[in-house]
Amino acid sequence: MKMNASVRDSKAQSGSLNRGKSFFVIVIVLLLMANIVTVGFLVYSYLGREDSVQQFVNEYPLLDPARNFVAQKHFIVNVQPLREDLQALVKEFGESSVSLYVEFLNTGANIAINPDIYIWPASLAKVPLAMAVMKKIEAGDWNLGNELVLLPGDRNEESGSEDSPLSEYPFGTRFTIEALLEELLINSDNTAYYMLIRNIHADELNQIVDDLGFDALFSDDGKVSAKEYSRMFRALYNASYLTREHSEMILEWLDESTFDDYLSHDLSKETRFPHKYGEKIDLRVYLDSGIVYLPNRPYLITVMVNGQPGELLDADRERAIQFMRGVSKKVYDYFTAD
Q: Pick from 69, 84, 118: which residue ends a domain?
A: 69
Task: Examine the domain organization and report whether 49 and 76 are in the same domain.
Answer: no
Beta strands in 50-188 (DSSP E): 98-104, 110-113, 147-149, 174-176
Residue 85 has what pLDDT? 98
Report d(CA 274, CA 267) in Å as an integer: 12
Task: Examine the domain organization and report whether 285 and 167 are in the same domain.
Answer: yes
Task: Examine the domain organization and report whether 196 and 262 are in the same domain.
Answer: yes
Residue 6 has what pLDDT? 44
Residue 38 has what pLDDT? 43
Task: Examine the domain organization and report whether 292 and 231 are in the same domain.
Answer: yes
Amino acid at 316: D
| Global pTM value | 0.82
Task: Examine the domain organization and report whether 55 and 131 are in the same domain.
Answer: no
pLDDT tens sequence across 250-269: 999 999 999 999 999 999 98
Residue 18 has what pLDDT? 53
Q: DSSP assignment of 3-59, as one string?
A: PPHHHHHHHHHHHHHHHHHHHHHHHHHHHHHHHHHHHHHHHHHHHHSTTHHHHHTTT
Name 224's bridge partners: 119
Which CATH number belongs to the domain containing residue 175 in this structure? Answer: 3.40.710.10
Residue 324 has what pLDDT? 98
Task: Examine the domain organization and report whether 294 and 196 are in the same domain.
Answer: yes
152 backbone dihedrals φ, ψ, rounded to 5°: -55, -40
Domain tally, the chain: 2
Q: What percent of the chain has pLDDT over 90?
A: 67
C-alpha distances in Å from residue 54, one per residue of 42, 51, 63, 100: 17, 5, 10, 37
Task: Examine the domain organization and report whether 18 and 114 are in the same domain.
Answer: no
Q: Pick from 45, 69, 93: which residue ends a domain?
A: 69
Question: What residues make up the domain containing 44?
Answer: 5-69
Q: Pick from 46, 69, 92: which residue ends a domain?
A: 69
Give me the mean pLDDT over the 258-287 stretch.
Answer: 95
Residue 37 has what pLDDT? 45
Residue 125 has what pLDDT? 94
Residue 213 has what pLDDT? 83
Task: Examine the domain organization and report whether 192 and 112 are in the same domain.
Answer: yes
Residue 278 has what pLDDT? 96
99 backbone dihedrals φ, ψ, rounded to 5°: -125, 125
Task: Examine the domain organization and report whether 51 and 197 are in the same domain.
Answer: no
Residue 247 has what pLDDT? 98
Helix (H, G, I), strand (E, B) or coil at 92: helix
The pLDDT of residue 28 is above 70: no
Give me the mean pLDDT over the 163-189 stretch.
Answer: 96
Residue 162 has what pLDDT? 82
Which residues lie below 8 Å from residue 171, measured CB to CB, with a gap of 6+?
150, 151, 152, 155
Task: Examine the domain organization and report whether 60 and 76 are in the same domain.
Answer: no
Beta strands in the chain (DSSP E): 98-104, 110-113, 147-149, 174-176, 275-280, 285-292, 299-306
Res. 4 pLDDT band, cuts 50 70 90:
very low
| 49-53, 261-265, 324-328: least confident range | 49-53
Residue 215 has what pLDDT? 81
The pLDDT of residue 75 is above 70: yes
Task: Examine the domain organization and report whether 167 and 31 are in the same domain.
Answer: no
Task: Examine the domain organization and report whether 24 and 140 are in the same domain.
Answer: no
